[in-house]
């Protein structure tokens, strides 16, 4: 039976996706494609920032609603799918296929993710735990 992806699982998948997209030029082998390499770094950085500010279990600074996070993931994934043609590197098979794969993965995870917000009581518990941690 199909089950939607929960918020915590979405966070785990995102934790794998962010470094994968940021390191794709080296791992897939298209570092010569400067535009694609720069876009990978930018998309990875945006995804990391979005993850860190989301009101979810993994958010370090919980200010952005989870539904907004999902919307941003979807828009970024659609942009990633179109990027090879928008930025003129669709002839580079490795870069194009990496972007199509990353975009499809993002769209699929976003569409399968359950969009419910985190329980306010859980937010308060997490905030209390964080307040009790020693300062860095």
Choice between 40 and 54, residue whose per-residue pLDDT is larger: 40
- Considering only 20-24, 99-103, 127-131, which range has the smallest mean pLDDT? 127-131
Q: How high is the pLDDT of residue 123?
A: 65
Q: What angle do CA 126, 67, 76 make, to 5 degrees?
A: 115
Instruction: Please say if the pLDDT value at position 104 is more than 90.
Output: yes
Name the token pair of 99.
């972007």
Q: How high is the pLDDT of residue 59?
A: 84
Where does 1-136 have alpha helices with state H?
Answer: 7-24, 34-52, 66-86, 93-112, 120-132
Average pLDDT, the chain: 89
Q: What percent of the chain has pLDDT over 70?
A: 90
């Amino acid at each position: 039976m199909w089950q939607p992806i929960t918020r915590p699982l979405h966070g785990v998948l995102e934790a794998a996706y962010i470094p994968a997209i940021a390191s794709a030029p080296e791992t897939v082998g298209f570092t010569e494609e400067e535009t694609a390499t720069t876009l990978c770094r930018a998309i990875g950085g945006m995804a990391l920032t979005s993850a860190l500010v989301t009101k979810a279990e993994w958010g370090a600074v919980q200010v952005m609603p989870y539904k907004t996070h999902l919307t941003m993931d979807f828009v970024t994934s659609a942009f990633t799918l179109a990027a090879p043609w928008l930025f003129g590197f669709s002839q580079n098979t490795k870069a194009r296929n990496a972007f199509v794969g990353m975009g499809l993965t993002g769209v699929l995870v976003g569409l399968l993710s359950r969009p419910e917000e985190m329980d306010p009581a859980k937010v308060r518990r997490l905030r209390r735990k964080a307040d009790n941690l020693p300062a860095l």
